[in-house]
Amino acid sequence: MGVIETTKSRVQRTEKAVELPLELPVGKILDGDCVEAMRSIPTASVDLVFADPPYNLQLGGDLNRPDGSHVDAVTDDWDKFDTFKAYDDFTRAWLTEAKRILKPDGALWVIGSYHNIYRVGAILQDLGFWILNDIVWRKSNPMPNFRGTRFTNAHETLLWCSQGEKAKYHFNYRAMKTLNDELQMRSDWVLPICNGAERLKEGGHKVHPTQKPESLLYRVLLSTTEKGDVVLDPFFGTGTTGAVAKRLGRQWIGCEREGVYRNAALKRIEKELPLDESALTTMQAGRSAPKVAFGALVENGYLKPGTELFDKKRRWRATVRADGSLACGKQTGSIHGLGKELQGAPSCNGWTFWHYEVDGADGKDVQPIDAARQLYLLAVED
Amino acid sequence: MGVIETTKSRVQRTEKAVELPLELPVGKILDGDCVEAMRSIPTASVDLVFADPPYNLQLGGDLNRPDGSHVDAVTDDWDKFDTFKAYDDFTRAWLTEAKRILKPDGALWVIGSYHNIYRVGAILQDLGFWILNDIVWRKSNPMPNFRGTRFTNAHETLLWCSQGEKAKYHFNYRAMKTLNDELQMRSDWVLPICNGAERLKEGGHKVHPTQKPESLLYRVLLSTTEKGDVVLDPFFGTGTTGAVAKRLGRQWIGCEREGVYRNAALKRIEKELPLDESALTTMQAGRSAPKVAFGALVENGYLKPGTELFDKKRRWRATVRADGSLACGKQTGSIHGLGKELQGAPSCNGWTFWHYEVDGADGKDVQPIDAARQLYLLAVED
DNA sequence: GGAGCAGTTGAATCGGTCC
DNA sequence: AGGACCGATTCAACTGCTC
For A330-356, the pLDDT digits (tens) are 788 888 778 777 776 555 667 777 888
* Chain A residues 120-159, Cβ below 7 A from strand C: 125, 130-133
Are B64 and B200 in a shared domain? yes
Domain contains B352:
yes
Mean pLDDT to the nearest integer, B56-82: 89
| Burial class for B101, CB neighbours closer than 10 Å (0-12, 13-18, 19+) | buried
Report yes or no: A34 and A94 within 8 Å, Cβ to Cβ. yes
Condensed to tens digits (0 to 9), the pLDDT of residues B24-64 reads 999 999 999 999 999 999 999 999 999 999 999 988 888 98
Q: Are B149 and A155 in contact (CB < 8 Å)?
A: no
**Where residue B143 sits, what CATH number does that domain have?**
3.40.50.150
- Quick one: pLDDT at residue B199? 96
Let me know whether B227 and B81 are in one domain.
yes
* Phi then psi dihedrals of residue B168, to 5 deg: -75, 160
Strand A331-333, strand A326-328: pairing: antiparallel
Q: Determine whether the distance from the CB of B61 to the nearest atom of strand C is below 7 Å.
A: yes
3-state DSSP call for residue A98?
helix
- Across chain B, what does the average pLDDT equal? 88
B52 CB inside 7 Å of strand C = yes
Residue A18 lies in a domain: no
pLDDT of residue A77: 54
Helix (H) / strand (E) element for A377: namely helix A369-380
What residues form DSSP beta bridges with A366? A357
- Round to whole Å and give the CA distance between A8 and A218: 24
Indicate if the pLDDT at residue A80 is higher than 70. no
Structural domain contains residue B213: yes
Q: How far is CA B228 from the centre of its chain?
A: 16
Is residue A312 in a domain? yes
Q: Which pLDDT tens digit goes with each residue over B179-190?
A: 887 889 999 999
How many domains does the structure of chain B reveal? Answer: 2
How far is Cα A101 from Cα A97, in angstroms, rounded to an integer?
A: 6
Contact B273, B306 (CB under 8 A): no
Between CA B71 and C1' D18 the distance (Å) reads 28
How high is the pLDDT of residue B68?
A: 76
DSSP B176-236: HHHHTTTS--BSEEEEPPS-GGGS-EETTEESSTTPPPHHHHHHHHHHH--TT-EEEESS-
Q: CB-hemisphere CA count at 13 Å for A95?
A: 27
B154 and A187: CB-CB below 8 Å? Answer: yes
Least confident of A46-50, B16-20, B372-376: B16-20
- Single-letter code of the amino acid located at B351: W
A124 with A58, same domain? yes
On whether both B192 and B329 belong to a single domain, the answer is: no
Domain boundary pick from B249, B279, B309: B279
The pLDDT value recorded for residue A299 is 81
Containing structural domain, residue B67: 28-279
Q: Do B168 and B216 share a domain, yes or no?
A: yes
A358-378 mean pLDDT: 73
Q: What is the DSSP letter of B194?
A: S
What's the pLDDT score for residue A70?
57
Shared domain for B35 and B156, answered yes or no, is yes
Residue A197: burial class (beta carbons within 10 Å; 0-12, 13-18, 19+): exposed
Report which of A96, A17, A87 is spatially closest to residue A56, judged by C-alpha positions.
A87
Residues B307 and B273 in one domain: no
Q: Do B168 and B302 have their domain in common?
A: no
Position B218 pLDDT exceeds 50 = yes
Lowest mean pLDDT among A59-63, B52-56, B86-90, B303-307: A59-63
**Pair B267, B323 in one domain:** no
Of B114, B135, B138, which is closest to A134 when you measure between CB atoms? Answer: B114
User: Taking residues A34-41, what's their average pLDDT?
Assistant: 97
B201 sits within 7 Å of strand C by its CB: no
pLDDT for A22 equals: 54
User: CA-CA distance, B108 to B94, in Å (whole number)?
Assistant: 12
**CA of B192 and C1' of D7: distance in angstroms?**
34
Higher pLDDT, A270 or B276: A270
Report pLDDT digits (tens) over A99-137.
Answer: 999 999 999 999 999 999 999 999 999 999 999 999 999
- Quick check: A40 pLDDT over 90? yes
pLDDT in tens, B115-126: 999 999 999 999
Residue B239 shares a structural domain with residue B334: no
**Among candidate residues A277, A167, A228, the one with its CA nearest the CA of residue A16:** A228
Those residues with Cβ within 8 angstroms of residue B289's Cβ, 6 or more apart along the chain or in another chain: B182
Distance of alpha carbon B200 from alpha carbon B173, whole angstroms: 32
Is B149 close to A115, i.e. CB distance below 8 A?
no
Q: How does the average pLDDT of chain A come out, rounded?
A: 83
Element (H, E) at B112: strand B102-112
- CB neighbours (10 Å) of residue B12? 12
Comparing B143 with B369, the larger pLDDT belongs to: B143
End-of-domain residue from the set B279, B312, B343: B279
**Residue B331 in domain:** yes
Q: Over 80: is that where the pLDDT of A216 sits?
A: yes
Centroid of chain to Cα B246: 12
Inside any domain, residue B156: yes
B147 is near strand D: CB distance < 7 Å: yes
Same-domain check for residues B84 and B196: yes
CB count within 10 Å of CB B66 equals 9
Q: What is the pLDDT of residues A220-257, one digit of tens each?
A: 999 999 999 999 999 999 999 999 999 999 999 999 99
Residue B173 and residue A142: Cβ atoms within 8 Å? no
User: Does A288 fall in a domain?
Assistant: no
Per mean pLDDT, which range of A346-350, A371-375, B8-12 is the poorest?
B8-12
Please state the pTM of the whole predicted model. 0.80
Q: Please check whether residues A314 and A363 belong to one and the same domain.
A: yes
CA to C1' distance (Å), from A184 to C12: 15
| Identity of the residue in B118, B165, B285 whose CB atom sits nearest the CB atom of A121 | B118
3-state SS record for B235-274:
CCCCCHHHHHHHHCCCEEEEEECCHHHHHHHHHHHHHCCC
Whether B24 and B248 have beta carbons less than 8 Å apart is answered as no
Read off the pLDDT of each residue in A128-148 and give the average, rounded to a whole number: 95
CA distances from B85 to A87, A126, A164, B59, B90 (A): 21, 9, 17, 18, 9
Query: Which of A279, A314, A345 marks a domain boundary?
Result: A279
DSSP state of A77: G
Per-residue pLDDT tens digits for A274-311:
888 877 777 665 433 333 356 778 888 888 888 999 88
What span, in angstroms and rounded, lies between the C-alpha atoms of B20 and A17? 68
Contact between chains at A151 and B119 (C-beta distance less than 8 A): no
Residue A225, φ and ψ in degrees, nearest 5: -135, 165
The pLDDT value given to residue A3: 55
Rounded distance, CA B76 to CA B206, Å? 13
How far does B82 lie from chain A, in Å, by closest CA?
14
Rounded to whole angstroms, the Cα distance separating B159 from B164 reads 14
Residue A51 lies in a domain: yes
Averaged pLDDT for residues B251-262? 98
pLDDT tens figures, B352-377: 899 998 876 666 788 888 888 777 76
pLDDT of residue B51: 98
Higher pLDDT pick, A35 / A322 = A35
Question: Distance between CA atoms of A37 and A22, rounded to whole angstroms?
Answer: 17
Helix (H, G, I), strand (E, B), or coil: what is residue A366? Answer: strand
Contacts of A153 in chain B (CB under 8 A): 133, 187
User: Could you tell me which chain A residue has the CA closest to the CA of B186?
Assistant: A152
The reply to whether A142 touches chain B by the CB within 8 Å rule is: yes
* pLDDT above 50 for B150: yes
